[in-house]
Structures are given as C-alpha cells and as structure tokens.
Amino acid sequence: MHWSEEEAARYRAAGYWRGETFGGLLRDLAAAYGPRTALISPGDRWTFRDLDERADRLAAGLRASGVGPGDRVVVQLPNVPEFHQVCFALFRIGAWPVFALPAHRSAEISYFCSFTEAAAYICPDDEHRAFAPGTPAHVLGELPEADPADPAELPGPRPGDVAFLQLSGGSTGLPKLIPRTHDDYIYSFRASAEICALRPDSVYLCALPAAHNFPMSSPGVFGALSAGAASVLAPDPSPGTCFPLVERERVTIAALVPPLALVWLEAAATTGHDLSSLEVLQVGGAKFGREAAKRVRPELGCTLQQVFGMAEGLVNYTRLDDDEETIVATQGRPISPDDEIRVLDDDGRESDQGHLLTRGPYTIRGYWRAEEHNRTAFTADGFYRTGDIVRRTPTGHLIVEGRAKDQINRGGEKIAGEEVENHLLAHPAVHDASVVAVPDPYLGERACAYLICRGDPPSRAELRAFLRERGIAAFKIPDRFEFVDAFPQTAVGKVSKRQLRERT
C-alpha cells in the first residue's frame, strides 16, 4: 500500500520528503513567526503561537479523554480556527483525523465512524451527535483542553506514518478513505506555496470547506501557514460574506470552485468593496470553461490560476507566469518534476489524449482497507487510475476533457453514482436505478436519476424526502428524476450510462 524503500529513498534524496511531522512543523513555525497572525475568522484572530499552544492543550485534553496514537477521529467542523487546532492536536498525538465535510449527514458520518472504528467524533453542535450513536462526541465550544504534558513524554508519530484519512470523491457504493503521510502531504503544500509565491505578508482566503483537499493544501491553509502567511476563514463563500473580508484583511489569494467564481465575477461588477489586494484567484475542483476563465483578469484585476487536483494526490497548477492562453485554456501542470504522468488510450497505448494515470511523491499507492478496490484503482506498478480523461499539450499542461469514472461533478462537489443508486434501491417502489451526470450551464453538471419502478412511480417530492430521511448529504440528492421502462445496455449487457447521459 506504500512506496517502496527505494522510491522513498529517492524522494528523500531529492529533498521532497524532509523527515518532518505536522507537530514539529507547527513548533518551528511558532518559533519563526510566533506573534504574527496565523488564522482569522470574522470574530477571532490567532497568532502562530496561539495555534501552537492551543494545539498542545487540546492534545493533552484529548489524550486524557482516551484518544491515543493511531486512533481514528472523525472531524466535521465549519471554517473556524478550532478546525486547525483540532488537526494539529490530533497530529501531535499521532491520532488520525478522518475529514468529513460539513454537508455530510447521518448516513455518511455513521459510516465513517463505524468503518474506521473511530475513537471520537468532533462536531459543530449537539444536533450532530446523533449522527454517530455509540461514538464519543466532542462539541465545538466544549473541546477538552488540559495542561500540556511534557512533549518529551510523547514519542509522537514518524514522518512516514499516516497523518490523516481524506475522503475520495468516490465512484463506488461507499466512499473510500485516502491515507496521507506527514512526509508526502507536507511536501505537497510546501511546494504548492512556492508555486503560488506565498510569502509572510500574503493573506489566503479559505472560502471553501476547510476539510477539502483544495483549500487545505493547494496551497490552502496549511500552505499559507508553512509560508508564515495568514489565512482568513470565511463562514461561507458568498460575495456578501467574502468581499468585506477581502477588503478588511487585504486578502491576496483566494480559492473557489467554478460556479462560485462565476458568482464572484457577477458581484464584482457592482460591488462597493475594495478588492484591489487580490493578486491570484485559484479556480479548481471542476472544469472552469475558457470563456469564464477569460473574464477573471479584466473583471477582477488579478491572475487566474487553474487547479486540477485530487485528494488521492496529484495536483496541477497553471503557473503565475504562464501566458494568458495557457492560463485560460489548460488545467495546469503537475507540482513535482517527479510526478509521473501517463496518458493511455482505451487499449492501454500511450497517447496525447486518454485516461490519466499518475504516480509520484505525494500520490497514494492504495486506499485504506480497500484491498479489492485497490487492485483495479492502481496498476501493478503503482500508478493511480484517476478516472479522468485528459489531453496533454507539448508543454506538459493537461486539459481535462472528460471522465471515465462513475461520478458526477456537481460544481466541484463529487457524487458517486452507485452510492446514490443504492439508497434509491432501498425504496420499495424502485426496481432499478441509474444515476448519471447531465450538463448544466451553472454547475457544469447536475445529477439525474433514471428509475425503473414497480407499478406507479412515487412522486419526485416523495423520492427526495425518502433520500433526506436516509440521511445523505443534500448535494447528493438528484436534481432530476426520470422514469423509464428499461435502461440502454452495452454490448456485454451492462447498463450503458453513456447512452443514458446522451438521452438528456
């Protein structure tokens, strides 16, 4: 499941893996930047020293409550400084955060807790506790802090150890968990901070959910911390919330998904807020169309950076000094000279356009506890099959052309078709279900459920209510339901999702 000793030695020799851990990194940052601001929320400001000390106090409190090295802890918090305090407290203990999203409901949270045998669930309020019956919960505002133990007493994790479990966008019935190590993740955000030219007086705006890989590490809040820069944690990504924060904190770089970038462009035309501090707007998570991309520089007065990444590892960026055509027309090129890229046609031959496979110093070699799935998701020589269809330009930039995996990308939010189908199949009137992406001018894609029913089909409102009651995140509830007598089939008799998509 991991890199071979030989590869690890190569990544160390190249200076990618520096033998650091998150806990030690924050200690060093606090020594270097102690009184400078690290985290800002609308009502709170934490310095690097605050974060370091509070992480220690929380680590001590969590240990006293029974959380130990190697334990899994499901973390579901909004964008508040305590989110990062929790991360670093768990990193210092050597316990693994399992990063749930704020939109997740009981179906997802109870699954994460049971599958990972979680020792605790850290959540925003008492209402959430019910999502994880049987798992001890800690609620924001009442996190267990205590006097820190002598750091010498705690051996702490090693750089090659798993630091946390990140969620995959998913293409199967149940979400897969991604084990990221201290070494590999620290490399990915440090290198990202460099590509994004972060410096101590940069100000990063975290407007997307902080637990997602993009605002966490591309370069995200971790990348900003590593550069000594401040991060502003926005409670939501709307212009109404974010524009005043950009003005007040002189934000220099922000990260958005494409639909939000469109909303920002519209709002910027008439805003009274001063956005002139913005130097870079990152857009990623889903394809940002060329026409929209072209508007960023003239309308926001900043450089667009396209970001094409995945929680499994590989992240591509357009570079800040790429020419405008490359910036608007491509999704960037990999972080690392040692990111190996393979583009294969349907028959497995090297090609300019086709299936993207990748291997490198921060791309996982296997999902956690998913041996069978790993046999198909990775090649025998360790390449991850991303499920994305790309074109590679002569300069090595990638253009995302489509997707071969069973996933809907709803404006950056990922939905696994099979997961929603399984929930629909639990409805007594549903004989068979197939959930596919349909194009949408605003979100890029929406989800459409094709259903074969027994007798009279239930109403769409009833189906939505049924899925809500099953406790799935609202973004996974299909936008459309279509009732059919049969599904189109492929030559071998499987449901042809391609033909279903083409029907709409």
Contacting positions for ligand OOB (CB under 6 A): 169, 213-214, 218, 284-287, 306-311, 315, 331, 386, 388, 400, 403, 409, 414
- Based on CB atoms, which residue is closest to ligand OOB, 67 or 302? 302
CB 159 within 8 Å of CB 19: yes
Q: Please, which residue, 185 or 466, has the CB nearer to ligand OOB?
A: 185
Q: How far is the CB of 432 from ligand OOB (least distance, A)?
A: 26
Least spacing, CB of residue 408 vs ligand OOB, in Å: 10
Residue nearest to ligand OOB (CB): 309
CB of 375: closest distance to ligand OOB in angstroms?
Answer: 19
> Two tokens at 487?
């599904």
CB 369 within 8 A of CB 177: yes
Q: Determine the Cα–Cα distance for residues 81 and 84; give it in Å rounded to an integer.
A: 6
What are residue 283's DSSP bridge partners?
A: 256, 306
CB neighbours of residue 47 within 10 Å: 17
Closest Cα to residue 157, out of 323, 7, 349, 24? 24
CB closer to ligand OOB, 41 vs 386 = 386
CB of 411 to ligand OOB, least distance (A): 11
Q: How far apart are CA 261 and CA 286, in angstroms?
A: 11
Q: Which of 64/474 has CB closer to ligand OOB?
A: 474
- Which residue's CB is nearer to ligand OOB, number 120 or number 221? 221
Min. distance of Cβ 16 from ligand OOB in angstroms? 18
Q: Residues 295, 265: contact at Cβ < 8 Å?
A: yes
Query: CB of residue 307 vs ligand OOB: minimum separation in angstroms?
Result: 4
Give the shortest CB-315-to-ligand OOB separation in angstroms: 5
Cα 83 vs. chain centroid, distance in angstroms? 15
State the Rg of the chain over Cα.
Answer: 22
What is the nearest approach in angstroms of ligand OOB to the Cβ of residue 57?
Answer: 31
Residue 240's Cα: distance from chain center in Å?
Answer: 24
CA 78, 80, 84, 87: dihedral to nearest 10 degrees?
-30
CB of 309 to ligand OOB, least distance (A): 3
Q: Smaller CB distance to ligand OOB: residue 63 or 385?
A: 385
Contact 235, 78 (CB under 8 A): yes
Angstrom distance (rounded) from CA 216 to CA 29: 17
Q: Which is nearer to ligand OOB, 182 or 287 (CB)?
A: 287
Torsion of CA 315, 320, 325, 330, to 10 degrees: 0
Distance of alpha carbon 174 from alpha carbon 325, whole angstroms = 39
Which of residues 85 and 386 has its CB atom nearest to ligand OOB in the complex? 386
Contact 33, 48 (CB under 8 A): yes
Q: What angle do CA 110, 111, 112 make, to 5 degrees?
A: 95
Pick the closer one to ligand OOB by CB: 16 or 308.
Answer: 308
Nearest approach, Cβ of 341 to ligand OOB (angstroms)?
A: 13
Q: What is the largest CA-CA distance in the chain?
A: 69
Tell me whether residue 96 or residue 185 sits nearer to ligand OOB (CB atom).
185
**What is the nearest approach in angstroms of ligand OOB to the Cβ of residue 363?**
12
| CB of 157 or CB of 334, closer to ligand OOB | 334
Q: CB within 8 A of 2, min separation 6: which ones? A: 160, 365, 366
Say if residues 119 and 95 touch (Cβ distance below 8 Å).
yes
Spatial separation of the C-alpha atoms in residues 293 and 283, rounded to whole Å: 9
* Cα–Cα distance for residue pair 61/332, rounded to 1 Å: 43
What's the distance, Cα to Cα, between the start and end of the chain in Å? 40
